Amino acid sequence: MKNCPEWFSYCAKGKDWSASIILTGCVSMCVLLLCAVTLFVLYRKNMHHFVHMKQHYKIFTMIIICAILRVPWWLMNTFLYEQNSPPVVADQMINRICMLALYLAQSFYVQTWLRVILMLRQFRGEYALKLLFLILDSIVTILMLCETVYAAFDVSTPTGFGIIYELGVYFMACCSLLSCILYISVGSVFLFKMKKFYCFCSKTILFFVAVSVILTLSAVSRFYCLFYKHFFNKLMNDEDFAIFCYFLPDFFPIVCILAMQASAYHGEKKKNKDTEGWVTYM
């Protein structure tokens, strides 16, 4: 158990999270932040004239926000703090904003597939799906922002885990899982329809399967951790919760999405005009 520094007036005691988990979380977010900023600059410099760049800019912006805020969040979780103290409030607010930013980044990425189907105009339910994403993203954003503000003023619960917190976070976890299901559905329809007109090589299918597995497993991991106490009537081990609810569900989706954006940039720079180059633009 780590001891609190004497100068840290709000510190109650050291947290049970190991130094390796906290260090890994900080370093990984710093690396991902650097990658996201680099890709954002490259897109702005070399691909700004493309019509649909706004969607990619939104993805980068959400990832950058998440990575920037996760670094101090991991450092703050070195210790436990006095009830309702400023570090507790800041911890909860930062965590909720990070989870919201990552959810939106994932949602915006999934919608890049939907955009292609809209361009093809061969999928009857495309506008209904677009509306569904808009409704889900709006509800999740409003709920998470409201309960983030609420956490700053609520002193009724020691750690801010009131009913409003549970409502917002649980709904966000469910929507994140739903967006993965929609991604698999929309992506499968897209690949099936495009197969009628073009010959896909295995790389396109491999990319889609890899992204589907990573996003889905990450969403399931966070969903399971958040609902663990309801499933088993007990709390999860602190370190397991840190790994499977925060580190892995943050790290792998960001890596996956950035890798696909890098692949898109590389493909566009090579001016590929065949179908394979277009699909990797996702």
Give the architecture (CATH level 2) of 11-279. Answer: Up-down Bundle (1.20)
**277 — pLDDT class (breaks 50, 70, 90):** very low
Q: Which residue has the higher pLDDT, 76 or 7?
A: 76
Given a cut of 60, is residue 199 above it in pLDDT?
no
What pLDDT does 281 receive?
46
Check residue 200 and give left, alpha or beta (phi > 0: left; psi -120 to 50: alpha): beta
Mean pLDDT of 242-271: 87
Determine contact, residues 204/276, Cβ cutoff 8 Å: yes
Boundaries of every domain in the chain: 11-279
- Helix (H) or strand (E) holding 12, with range, is strand 11-14
The two three-digit tokens of residue 235, written as one number: 């709390």
Mean pLDDT of 258-265: 87
**65 — pLDDT class (breaks 50, 70, 90):** very high
Q: Which residue has the higher pLDDT, 113 or 20?
A: 20
Q: What is the pLDDT of residues 215-255, one digit of tens each?
A: 999 999 999 998 888 888 888 888 899 999 999 999 999 99
Given a cut of 80, is residue 166 above it in pLDDT?
no
Given a cut of 90, is residue 170 above it in pLDDT?
no
What pLDDT does 62 receive?
96
**263 — pLDDT class (breaks 50, 70, 90):** confident
Q: What does the mean pLDDT of the chain come to?
A: 79
Residue 60 CB contacts under 8 Å (≥ 6 apart), including other chains: 36, 39, 40, 43, 261
Given a cut of 50, is residue 167 above it in pLDDT?
yes
Mean pLDDT of 30-59: 87
To the nearest whole percent, how much of the chain has pLDDT over 70? 73
